[in-house]
Chains A and B, each alone.
Chain A
Amino acid sequence: MGVQEVFTTFGDMYLKSLLSTWLMTAVCFAGGLALGILATVLRVSPIKPLRVAGDVYVQLFRNIPTVSLLVIFVYALPYLGATLPYRTCLLCCVVLVVSSFASENFMSGINAIGVGQIEAARSIGLSFVQIIRLIVIPQSLRTTVLPMTNLLIATLLTTAMGSQVPLTPPELTGMVNYVNSRSVAGISAFVVSAICYAGTSVVLGFLGNKLDEKVRIIR
């Protein structure tokens, strides 16, 4: 079965699968950023237990293999009184993992600012909240564009974990399984999925680089 036949037989489904992969990537990245910001706030707060909680959170979810987290969500949580739909499980797992890496990016963005600028801001009379709003947040956002672009691509790749649970429509990696179990597609299904992943990554990488050129802080 050639690539063309794969398209005529499974074209509709592939389109749905691609869109679903994109949507999951967007949702997970947005959720990961939001949770990552929250974790970072905890980690830089002056309250010791919150700092420790934030650090532990990040270490847990940046070191756990996604599949290990996924089996806990899918198979273990029902025994603990929480049965979630498959897609919800997947989204939660990816969001948790992505958020820990997002927080690491934010932390290195904050570290890049340096003590001196904070002291300078203090010495012209800016309040703590103003320093965070005017110096820390804008600078850490602008220095993390490239790492965050890489994280966005990594999020796309992580949604491939969706192939390990039944999803309708399957995401791009699950499609290879789906097509191969229904016909002798051989290499074609793989090639189509690979092109979708690589194409998306190239576009995201290009956009990320463009944005970085625009907002990068020269130091």
Chain B
Amino acid sequence: MPIETAEPIIQMRHVDKHYGQLHVLRDINLDVQKGEVVVLIGPSGSGKSTLCRTINRLETIDSGEILFEGKPLPQEGKELAALRAEIGMVFQSFNLFAHKTILDNVTMGPVEVLHRNRKDAEAEAMELLARVGVEAQAQKVPAQLSGGQQQRVAIARSLAMHPKAMLFDEPTSALDPEMINEVLEVMVELAQEGMTMVVVTHEMNFARRVSNRVVFMADGQIVEQNTPDEFFDHPQSARAKDFLDSIKGH
């Protein structure tokens, strides 16, 4: 079972959300411990991406509450921006700033939000780019990089903010198969260094190998959660069994 330490870094209590008629999140209760890697899986439309995006308030919730380090998420203004600066986010479609060089993409946060001086920020950015293996591309613009490279830059951009936790919203779903591993490797390394991570993914091997806990969602609900070995070898619910069977077929 998950590591039970002091206070969970992320807590979700009775979270509900609707898109019009559609009930996308139903009474979600989820705690994430510091240093824990939680993988959210489930069929498409199960609400896992939405859940991930509520944690830094890219999506609002209708009721319930979300706490980060014990404090409710701010709703707007400077406080919200400050919270987001502490939570990294990696998107399915990379979302690098198209008009900025790779280096500037990574330094924008530190310079503009953390008010670091540009020289230090650039030095650190180069280290981060080296760490994810794209330092040679620092002066290029995003469109000149492959998808895998862009996603690694996006991770470096998040890391430059020294986040306390990171959210990954299907980080490899838009990638060609041969580029998936280069991104996953960076994520594995992060996990091993003790980064708190919430990862929405379809990469079952990653989930099994790296995560502390697998959370299975369907129809906006958390259906079951368990350690990866338990979950993959002995799923409890019929929905989870069906889901695992359907992806094994591939």
Chain A residues in the interface with B (C-beta under 8 A): 113-114, 116-117, 119-127, 130, 134-135, 138-139, 142, 217-219
* Interface assignment of B130: CB less than 8 Å from any CB of chain A: no
B87 touches A142 (CB 8 A): no
A120-B96, A218-B144 as given contacts; A127 in contact with B81, CB under 8 Å: yes
A139 to B96, CA, bound (A): 13
Residues of A within 8 A of B82 (CB): 125
B84 touches A219 (CB 8 A): no
B161 touches A124 (CB 8 A): yes
Q: Within residues 63 to 87 of chain B, which ones have a CB less than 8 A from any CB in chain A?
A: 78, 81-87
If over half of A's interface residues share one DSSP class (helix, strand or loop), that class is named, otherwise mixed; here it is: helix
Nearest opposing residue in chain A for B105, CB measure: A120
A-B contact pairs, 15 of them (CB 8 A): A116-B94, A117-B98, A119-B89, A120-B89, A120-B95, A120-B157, A121-B97, A122-B58, A124-B113, A126-B108, A126-B109, A134-B108, A135-B97, A138-B99, A218-B144
A126 to B84, CA, bound (A): 9
A118 to B89, CA, bound (A): 13
A122 to B56, CA, bound (A): 9
A114 to B81, CA, bound (A): 20
Partner of B58, one of A113, A123, A142: A123
Interface size class of B (residues with CB under 8 A): 20 to 34
* Interface assignment of B3: CB less than 8 Å from any CB of chain A: no
Q: Within residues 90 to 116 of chain B, which ones have a CB less than 8 A from any CB in chain A?
A: 91, 93-99, 108-109, 112-113
A125 touches B113 (CB 8 A): yes
Residues of B within 8 A of A122 (CB): 58, 81, 84
Given contacts A125-B83, A127-B78, A127-B81, 14 further A-B contacts (CB under 8 A): A116-B91, A116-B93, A117-B95, A120-B96, A120-B157, A122-B81, A122-B84, A125-B81, A125-B84, A126-B81, A126-B108, A139-B99, A217-B141, A218-B144
Q: Within residues 153 to 211 of chain B, which ones have a CB less than 8 A from any CB in chain A?
A: 154, 157-158, 161
Residues of A within 8 A of B113 (CB): 124-126, 130
A123-B89, A124-B158, A139-B99 as given contacts; A218 in contact with B112, CB under 8 Å: no
* Interface assignment of B123: CB less than 8 Å from any CB of chain A: no
Which 6 pairs of residues, A with B, have the shortest CB-CB distance? A125-B85, A120-B95, A116-B95, A123-B89, A124-B109, A218-B143
A218 to B93, CA, bound (A): 16
A219 to B109, CA, bound (A): 22
Residues of B within 8 A of A125 (CB): 81-86, 109, 113, 161
Residues of B within 8 A of A127 (CB): 78, 81
B99 touches A217 (CB 8 A): yes
Interchain nearest-CB distance for B124 vs A (Å):
14
Residues of A within 8 A of B84 (CB): 122-125
